[in-house]
Structure 1
Amino acid sequence: MSLTFRQLKYFVAAAELGQISQAAIQLAISQSAITTSIRELESTIGTQLFDRSAQGVTLTHSGRNFLNHAYTILSSVDAALNMPNLEDTVTGRLVLGASYTVIGYFLPYHLQRLAQLYPHLEIQVHELNRDSIEKGLIENRYDMAVLLTSNVVNPGLAVEPFFSSARRLWVAAQHPLLKCDTVTLEDVSREPYIMLTVDEAGYTALRYWSETPYQPDIRLRTSSVEAVRSMVANGSGVAVLSDMVYRPWSLEGRRIETIQLKDPIPAMSIGLAWRKGSDIQPPMHAVREYFRHMFSASRTGLL
């Protein structure tokens, strides 16, 4: 088995962040993809790169040595991919709308990468709810938006999804459901449920619940992801949320586990939106091509 750029990228992210879950969020991929890739890398080079614990991952002596080589390789590849070219001539300003979940858990990393790739492009970001974003795009107050594309309803908008984040059940450590071979929404309906409402999360949840004979036993509705995290970690209820907003620890330092539900739960889809018929100016084209390249490369294993 040969070493790949993808393995190096996943290894470096895990090494820098110290947690597979955090690396998965930064790279917008699943935790299992990173875990599998790192184990393949360790098998390829014949040594253990990380010590694993409940708190995360730490580099072994071999891992620290290998990290320096990984930095050198990735730096060389990045320099080759970003040689001066016509892309550097992209100038101007892009007014970008973004929803709460996107700006809080997804967009900052990509804004930093775009700033490196297009140093003469100014991106002005506005945090808004979905309805305000749609109206702003139609009325030309915003050029584009990064949002939960599965929630978009205005037919006057062009939508291009590029990333999906699976939704799983969140439970406290030692929760009885962790011992079950399979867990269904029927099982979840018997548990106190903490409902997140921000970015229409509650509406989305009730849509897939409505396709079953069951209903969640909602004990709290909140717009705060941290409140959900704390309530779940302290055993006050369970929740179904996406991997993108998952963190293994609450603010109190209590562990949160996830369970893949047997029932089909729609993934949270993230992507770009813009007004249909818009003249795609160079700033819009540059941002759209960045996301297309980033996520097509991730899917094909080039990055």
Structure 2
Amino acid sequence: MDLDLRKVRYFVAVAELLHFGRAAEQLHIAQPVLSRQIRALEKDLDTTLFERDSHGVTLTTGGLQLLDDGRALLASADATRRRVQRSARGPHRLVVGFRAGIVVTHTVRAYGAAHPGIEVRARRVEWDDQERLILDGTVDLAYLRRPIREEGLTLLPLFAEPRVAMLPGDHRLAGKQDLVRTDLDGETWLRYADQGPDDVPIRSIEEKFEAVASGAGITLVPVSVAEQYSRPDITYVPVTDAEPDEVVLAWETARRSALIAGFVESVRG
């Protein structure tokens, strides 16, 4: 029997909330309907997915496996829908992603001028969605910063740029002409994957600003970020022996798109 994606979507909602009532509200369906759909899915799979008792709902081993696979399955289905819709609209729009600090204006405008029938848009991406947004078709290609999960992507190395220390304005090293990494020994380092205030991961450059300005720690950023973003409570100091930041252009390997190929060639040129 084929797996019903609607039932999988219902299952994932319950599995993430571990509460049938709240999941039903989120899905805008009645709770009895949701319960019947989950029971039908368990029958389809011949597997118990949830343990239900007076203390609440928990996932079985089979349920945990379906949660992992179901999320990927739904993401793949959503990506397929986007690709089909994009194809039906015709090859008349190109969406170019970019990370903070990377200026794409010149290339985007030049490509648009050379292809007046094509609508070219730029969209910012973040460290935690840069690959996904390419693979699910939200952006057609993107200027990314390493590290990058390369599976399914083709990368064109573009350039590397120096990195500078982002420090609070009143930091002991503020005002120095330059630094080396050992000057920063003993400092608390902030990275995007780290937990920020209230255990929320730091996701954007703006959130890094807030964390640094509050004294939570320091970080290294590409020099282009320092050039584009300034605040009176933040200072930047070059770190001469910091590993350079690498920028690449990335697109989905499996896609066959004349627009993407043309844009890549314009970047090469």
- Normalised to the residue count of structure 1, the TM-score between the two structures is 0.45
Greater Rg, structure 1 or structure 2?
Answer: 2
Relative to its length, the structure with more helix (as a share) is 1
Q: Which has the higher contact order (CA 8 A, sep 6+)?
A: 1
TM-score (norm 2): 0.50
